[in-house]
Structure 1
């Protein structure tokens, strides 16, 4: 059977989804082929509602900064706050700055879920959110170590900002000795946290220790990402430029499950992050979030790709007048390419879902290109994802600023 035939015979409306599909899963990741798309927020909200109500999932984990997300989790647990302010500032990469994200968080609070930001701090452009929290923790647990954090904050102030490209450029312009000193300071702090674990726990409590230690780990992984990009600009191969951030997100999922063995986690991240196999790029492959989770959890990890056949997506255009170096723009989509995954779904006028697992090893002519914004990315569909959701039309969500 061809892939197109399998889609025709087995794709079903999202409203017919059976809870049994997720019975044995501890982690379900729901993707999207572009950020900041109105319909992707709403279909993810619908799936979150289903996974919490029908399947017993308990934690919403978003591709967003861990440190910033602590305030979102507190609000979901009932603390006071304004959802717009929380979404604007507690969801990084500007992904919270739209009505659809506010709606999703409001429903998550009503559902009683917890929240965790998976990612490194500062939209991958600043270690400061994590360092400020670590400093407050050390004021209680180890005042003698506060000066180490202060040194890291001073160094980060020389390059950190709101936007990734200018921050990476400023970091790379730093003297290599300064970069090395920061990396050594992260190693020193990590050693202190580990060597003095029980003293630190006794001083400020187990939860505070676990949170601060993880924030420090994520800041150190962002430091490795920055070092990798600086090496690439210097003409050296550096997989850490791409791998450290996905490692950080995978470790956050493990952090949640290690602290609560009964938790079941719904991950929301880009399709490229959640696929079960390494991501192929020109000249190298790298383990993404989903590859780490698939190796850790096997069949208890499910990857749900989300894509679309038509509409208007979100792209980026170089813009020297923008603080980010580019502008977020709407892009009209052409009909699906004939050799794409989306072409097999082009005849459906409503959202459809398909379980890919029964098709493994059975089909011919399986497409291995899937939409990535207005372009396509080589994707080993059957090995990379367990299920796929395809929407007929998408439109950009409103945003306040570009990343």
Structure 2
């Protein structure tokens, strides 16, 4: 039987990604991970693969682990919408939720500028979008929704204002709301559920409106508010529930985006950008033992393994941008050589160069892909000194992903700005 050394293909330039495109075939969803939120090479290779999926395979939008309101501003810019930022860099530089460097960085700017240029040569209804999947933007989404209703459906704005007033006593502080709802007999749950139901009912009566994407964005902001309220209430219980609320929300949002884009002659195809911890199937890790699901697992369950391709990343050593604590100022940190016995150490020993691994779910695979090995995962909080006992997820590589990009040496992202003193820091639940 061949070993992992025989499976490893060269990874030098975007042309070397041909085997991934062959593995994708007719699949509608390609989810591409990252082993940290602060490594330039992961972002650059992910963008290179996404460019090819858009230009060669007709993928119609990119959905990322970011907040809906922030990413909607980027979406409007890359789609050249009237009144939008002429340079996507301005939209990305406006990101204000910690950790801003996840999206406000040079690598994402380069991709979004490329996407805007591609879209400039396409009809408006064929332009590729950029959307946020995450759940943290409760107050931003509520304010966006109130503003949209005041402008478009002023007779219904009071419904949203009633929900907003429910949250006002907590000063736009998710942790304060979460702890208060734990002890109070009532919460804001019913108010936000009523708001979402109202918007869905109105959609059926206004199918002929001029800007369906603006209404879709309003509905998505309402959905964020519903699930963010659930997320914050679940967070204080200290279980896997808040993680699951968040990942189910991201999978639900992707499904809504696919349905929204499904009016053309061809089924919509989506690229998803998130951390490996969300992208890789949780059932191939110790996450499942803790009662946690994730986006990768949900995509395979909902759409089938033939329609979903999961792509992971890993690196042996280098540098990263991260915070030493939740909400802390970003720092450039060293990433030491992977610890002995880990997946990354194995690839360093057996391959020793940047490499692409692609395999079939049905065929025979090297034994190393069937073993549970520690696989490094760096979140927005990172402490290199904990490498000996933390920062790794036990993983069966061949079950967690369908393809894997391994890099010997990595370097930190280049952020657009330092963290600002007034930016919003979400309550701590899971640091990835």
**Equivalent in the alignment of 1:368:** 373
CA contact (8 A) 1:340 1:369 kept: yes
Query: Residue 344 in 1 paired to residue 346 in 2?
Result: yes
Q: Which residue of 1 aligns with 2:113?
A: 106
Matched, 1:397 2:413: yes
Quick check: 2:182–2:236 contact (8 Å CA) kept in 1?
no
Per-residue deviation, residues 126-149 of structure 1 (Å, max 9, x unmatched):
412221232233336654432232
Could you say which residue in structure 2 is the equivalent of 1:302? 309
Aligned to 2:402: 386
Residue in structure 1 matched with residue 164 of structure 2 by the alignment: 153
Tell me, in whole angstroms, the C-alpha distance in 1 between the residues paired with 2:171 and 2:115: 32
1:45-76 deviation per Cα after TM superposition (whole angstroms, max 9, x unaligned): 21112222232222121111122222211111
- Asked if 1:186 is matched to 2:207, the reply is no
Kindly provide the CA deviation profile for residues 247-301 of structure 1, in whole angstroms up to 9, marking residues without a partner as x.
1211222122212233211111000101234464496222211111111221111
8 Å Cα contact 1:315-1:328 kept in structure 2: yes
Q: CA separation of 1:177/1:149 partners in 2, compared to 1, >3 Å: closer, same or farther?
A: farther
1-side partners of 2:247 and 2:292: how far apart?
A: 9
Q: Conserved in 2, the CA contact under 8 Å of 1:61 and 1:116?
A: yes
RMSD, aligned CA = 2.8
1:13 has 2:14 as partner: no
Q: Which runs of 5+ in 1 are unaligned?
A: 162-166, 319-323
**How far is 1:190 from its partner?**
2.1
SS at match of 1:145: helix
Alignment of 1:4-403 (within 5 A): 6-14=3-11, 15-18=15-18, 19-79=21-81, 80-89=85-94, 93-94=99-100, 95-112=102-119, 114-120=128-134, 124=136, 126-139=137-150, 142-159=153-170, 167-174=173-180, 176=182, 180-201=186-207, 206-232=212-238, 237=239, 239-261=240-262, 262=266, 263-278=268-283, 280-281=286-287, 284-298=290-304, 299-318=306-325, 325-347=327-349, 348=351, 350-357=353-360, 362-365=365-368, 366-373=371-378, 375-399=391-415, 400-401=418-419
Shift in Å, 1:9 = 0.5
Q: Given the superposition, is the C-alpha separation of residues 9 and 359 from structure 1 closer, same or farther in structure 2, using an over 3 Å criterion?
A: farther
Deviation for aligned residue 1:159: 4.1
Q: TM-score, length-normalised on structure 1?
A: 0.84
Mapped partners of 1:291, 1:208: distance in 2: 30
C-alpha spacing 1:45/1:309, structure 2 compared with 1 (3 Å):
same
In 2, Cα distance between equivalents of 1:317 and 1:28: 32
Displacement after TM superposition at 1:220 (Å): 0.7
What is the Cα deviation at residue 195 of structure 1? 3.8
Contact residue 60 and residue 116 of structure 1 kept, 8 A: yes
Aligned to 2:124: none
| Partner Cα distance (2:6, 2:162) in 1 | 61
Q: CA deviation at 1:97?
A: 2.1
Residues 264, 202 of structure 1: CA spacing in aligned structure 2 closer, same or farther, 3 A cutoff?
Answer: closer
The CA deviation at 1:325 is 4.2
Contact 2:60-2:269 at 8 Å conserved across structures: yes
Q: What SS does the corresponding residue of 2:186 show, helix, strand or coil?
A: helix
Post-superposition shift, 1:396?
A: 1.7
Q: Secondary structure at the match of 1:81?
A: coil
Relative to structure 1, the CA distance from residue 91 to residue 38 in structure 2 (aligned partners, 3 Å threshold; closer, same or farther) is farther
Q: Distance in 2 between matches of 1:396 and 1:305?
A: 18
TM-score w.r.t. length of structure 2: 0.79
Question: Aligned pair count?
Answer: 382
